[in-house]
Amino acid sequence: MSKNKINITEEVMLKINKGVVKMKPKWMFVVGTIAMILGLVGAYILSSFLVSIISFSLRNHGPMREYRLQELLASFPFWAVGLAIVGLVLGIILLRKFEFSYKKNFWFIILAFIAAIIISGWLADYFGIEKIWSKQGKMHRLYQQYGGNRNKVLPWKSKGGYVIEREIGRMRKNGYNGY
Amino acid sequence: MKNLVNLLDEEVVNLVREENVEYFAELISRYQDKLLRYSGNILNDDQKAQDAVQESFIKAFINLNSFNVNKKFSSWIYRIVHNETMNLISKYKKQIALDENVDIENGINIEEEMIKKEMIEHTCSCLRQLPNIYAEPLALYYLEDKKYEEISFILRLPIGTIGTRINRAKILMKKICQKIK
């Protein structure tokens, strides 16, 4: 054992003295901790926002939605589900790095994290926070796209629809009555 | 060079950070035997244990600024060795090679030495047969004299789980030892 003792001390100290092994500066750990906290908060907000989009998309199909399953599936934001899962996984990975995580049952922490995301996403939708988002810029487009019939651009009012309408008008002008 | 013998580990860490990196040798000499024994018990290979401990000290030095001096250095270094040992286990897929090279010293009490060695070997072989999740807390509690809180920090498990695992490990150990006899 004493032989090992000399070897380990010597080898480690040799690497330190040669500069092969260097101590990382303190600021790196401070930046790392801040990035970890921001990452966790970011993953939480992103996942909550995506849950609110999913909830909004489901809610907007109204009372007859069982008859419009295909429409629901066609406009359902599956990408949001995928991204929400990615956000969740990232959040869980980051949670593991915090010191408090091992003191409690980690499964309990994961479940609490998932529940918090779902509840806050649903609350955002329930209290109409998405209405504020849905009126602004890129968010407006997102909510319009996944908001079901209420926000959908009607086909006869679409760009293509106007062209058809114009053509029918021109044909009627020329005496065409449909027969 | 200062006399570091009477200083606490955490005080030595502060000196390494702020004054002289050479003081890190003191920390190595304080812990290497214990860490070699701990890692060796899990890996069942002295050479690999040595690699794990050496690599752990290098990692500890690199990340020394992340260590919180209000906490125990011993728990922190054990945690690093634990991680490194686990990495080696997954790397080598736990190749169990029983080391039977018993180096008997010349002397009058050869028989006594042999009995003692046999007992140690017997206990170690029982410990080696335990699954890692039980062997680790048991080794830390009985061989390394660690408290539940420290074991909890080292293994990153709740204190309740540590208690349960140690109790189960004792029952398993008893069964395994009786079987081997």
Provide, as residue numbers in chain B, all residues whose Cβ is less than 8 Å from the Cβ of A21.
58, 61-62
Mean pLDDT of B130-155: 88
pLDDT in tens, A14-44: 999 998 899 999 888 888 888 888 888 888 8
Out of A15, A101, A102, closest to residue B58 by CB? A15
- Cα(B181)–Cα(B172) distance, rounded to whole angstroms? 14
- Cα(A161)–Cα(A157) distance, rounded to whole angstroms? 6
Provide, as residue numbers in chain B, all residues whose Cβ is less than 8 Å from the Cβ of A14.
none
Query: Does the beta-carbon distance from B153 to A21 stay under 8 Å?
Result: no
At B2, which amino acid appears?
Answer: K
* B10 lies in the same domain as B91: yes
Query: Does the beta-carbon distance from B28 to A9 stay under 8 Å?
Result: yes
**Poorest-pLDDT segment among B59-73, B81-95, B152-166:** B81-95
* B24 lies in the same domain as B5: yes
pLDDT in tens, A45-93: 888 888 887 877 776 555 555 555 566 666 667 777 788 888 888 888 8
Provide, as residue numbers in chain A, all residues whose Cβ is less than 8 Å from the Cβ of B159.
103
Neighbours of A109 (CB within 10 A): 18
Among the candidates B83, B99, B115, a domain finishes at B99
3-state DSSP percent of chain B in helix, strand and coil, to 5: 75, 0, 25
pLDDT in tens, A127-169: 777 666 666 655 666 666 665 444 444 444 455 555 666 676 7
Q: What is the CATH number of the domain that holds B161?
A: 1.10.10.10
* B123 lies in the same domain as B84: no
* B10 lies in the same domain as B50: yes
- Cα(A16)–Cα(A46) distance, rounded to whole angstroms? 43
Query: Does the beta-carbon distance from B159 to A8 stay under 8 Å?
Result: no
- Cα(A172)–Cα(A170) distance, rounded to whole angstroms? 5
* B30 lies in the same domain as B92: yes
| B112: containing domain | 103-181
Query: Does the beta-carbon distance from A102 to B157 stay under 8 Å?
Result: yes
* B170 lies in the same domain as B94: no
**Dihedral over Cα of A139, A140, A142, A148: its sign:** positive
What's the structural domain count of chain B? 2
* B80 lies in the same domain as B114: no
Q: Give φ, ψ of A136 to 5 degrees.
A: -115, 130
Among the candidates B48, B72, B99, a domain finishes at B99
Assign B8 to helix, strand or coil.
coil
* B46 lies in the same domain as B1: yes
Enter the ipTM: 0.71
pLDDT in tens, B17-58: 998 899 999 999 999 999 998 898 888 888 889 999 999 999
Residues of B with CB under 8 A from a CB of A: 17, 21-22, 24-25, 28-29, 32-33, 36, 46, 50, 53-54, 57-58, 61-66, 152-153, 156-159
- Cα(A77)–Cα(A84) distance, rounded to whole angstroms? 11
Among the candidates B82, B99, B116, a domain finishes at B99
Among A55, A40, A52, which residue's Cα sits nearest to residue A113?
A40
Residues B3/B97, Cβ–Cβ less than 8 Å: no
* B12 lies in the same domain as B75: yes
- Cα(B170)–Cα(A122) distance, rounded to whole angstroms? 48
* B147 lies in the same domain as B123: yes
* B87 lies in the same domain as B108: no
* B45 lies in the same domain as B109: no
Q: Which two tokens stand for residue A93?
A: 């990975």
Among B131, B178, B137, which residue's Cα sits nearest to residue B155?
B137
Q: What is the CATH number of the domain that holds B84?
A: 1.10.1740.10
pTM over 0.80? The answer is: no
